[in-house]
Amino acid sequence: MTVKMTAASRGMVAARFWGMALLGSAVLAASAQVSLPMWPVPATLQTLAVLLLGALGGSRLGAASVALYLAEGAMGLPVFAGGASGIAVLAGPTAGYLLGFLPAAWIAGLAGRGWLRQALVLGAAHMVLFVPGIAWLAGFVGWERAMVAGFLVFVPGTVVKTALAFTALRAARRD
């Protein structure tokens, strides 16, 4: 049996999707304000939010939420860590991490079912955002410092946030 969607019902589906994406971008903006100031990259709850947006909302919704968040910040809304905003943030030391949120959210959305798959996919999603982050940061501080200040200091928090995302996903899906 096939179901034909009317233009009105397609519009409602699109409105619901973008409304949820806007809500996701607000969650991401709020998570950016929970920040431990460090230089050159602050520690925030953003990566936890990115994993949850993708894992619970799916790849498309997670990535759309991140894209809206980045657009909001680029347009001058104070959504980045510490209330920062503007295109300069997207050219600064943290830009690689912010752009890495897009593939991380998409990958987290592939978590699917089964605890092993979920754990591996969430871990991979978290690691993926470090690739552009470290590469971009190295242009500012060099590779060695980028590895230390842009990755190694975040390993304990990354493990904890990945475990929290995994626990939340398991509780939400109960499979």
Cα 13 from chain centroid? Answer: 23
Report pTM: 0.93
DSSP state of 1: -
DSSP reduced 3-state for 43 = strand
DSSP state of 112: -
Whats the size of the chain, residue-wise? 175
CB 164 within 8 A of CB 128: no
Q: What mean pLDDT value characterizes the chain?
A: 95
Give the tens place of pLDDT for each residue, 34-64.
Answer: 999 999 999 999 999 999 999 999 999 999 9
- If phi > 0 it is left, if psi is from -120 to 50 it is alpha, else beta; for residue 72 that is alpha
Residue % of the chain over a pLDDT of 70: 98
Q: What is the dihedral sign for C-alpha 62, 23, 88, 94?
A: negative
Structural domains present in the chain: 7-173 (1.10.1760.20)
Distances (CA, A) of 78 to 71, 75, 109: 11, 9, 27
Residue % of the chain over a pLDDT of 90: 89
DSSP reduced 3-state for 37 = coil
CB 107 within 8 A of CB 121: yes
Cβ partners under 8 Å of residue 121, min gap 6? 55, 107, 108, 110, 111, 112
Minimum mean pLDDT range among 5-9, 37-41, 129-133, 163-167: 5-9
